[in-house]
């Protein structure tokens, strides 16, 4: 069941500055820009839509990029990591929560195979980072 906890909201200016300082690889930046545009995604959908290799896994690339960005916004990244661990069904943090998080349905269930709600884990970019209407 979805543990209702307030997510630390990312300051957009701080995030944009951190991206510029993070020395992201082109593929990491491509993934971040795409998920910020599309809004919701699964790992297989990103592989198909971006035509990139499945190894290393895209979710791992999002984590790596998030850690690089988090170095340049350490106070916020620490809060995100604490929140991530608190809301995790497994009690572990996921660094990708800086950018996006697991999506939930109206019944409070994660959209994932384990919940029987989706074939794949579905993620949603955080609202303040969404750029799909720009």
Q: What pLDDT is stored for residue 9 in this prediction?
A: 97
Quote the crossing angle between the two packed helices 12-21 and 58-70, to the nearest 10°: 100
Query: What average pLDDT does this structure show over 66-84?
Result: 97
Mean per-residue pLDDT over the chain, rounded: 94
Nearest to 69 by CA among 61, 37, 124, 40: 61
Instruction: Check: pTM over 0.85? Answer yes or no.
Output: yes
Residue 6 lies in a domain: no
Percent above pLDDT 70 for the chain: 97
Q: Could you list the residue range(s) of the whole structural domain that residue 72 is in?
A: 12-129
Query: What average pLDDT does this structure show over 38-50?
Result: 96
Residue 39 lies in a domain: yes
Residue 55 lies in a domain: yes
Q: What pLDDT is stored for residue 5 in this prediction?
A: 72
d(CA 41, CA 34): 10
As for how many domains the chain has, the answer is 1
- pLDDT tier for residue 89 given thresholds of 50, 70 and 90: confident
d(CA 57, CA 72): 24
- pLDDT tier for residue 4 given thresholds of 50, 70 and 90: low
Residue 111 lies in a domain: yes
């Amino acid at each position: 069941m979805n543990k209702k906890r307030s997510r630390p909201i990312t300051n957009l200016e701080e995030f944009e500055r951190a991206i510029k300082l993070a020395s992201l690889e082109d593929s990491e930046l491509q993934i971040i820009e795409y998920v910020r545009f599309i809004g919701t995604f699964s790992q297989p959908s990103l592989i198909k839509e971006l035509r990139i290799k499945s190894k290393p896994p895209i979710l791992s690339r999002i984590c790596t990029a998030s850690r690089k960005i988090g170095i340049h916004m350490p106070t916020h990244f620490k809060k995100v990591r604490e929140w991530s661990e608190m809301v995790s069904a497994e009690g572990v943090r996921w660094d990708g929560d800086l950018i996006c998080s697991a999506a939930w349905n109206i019944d409070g269930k994660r959209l994932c195979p384990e919940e029987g709600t989706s074939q794949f884990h579905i993620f949603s970019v955080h609202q303040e980072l969404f750029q799909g209407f720009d």
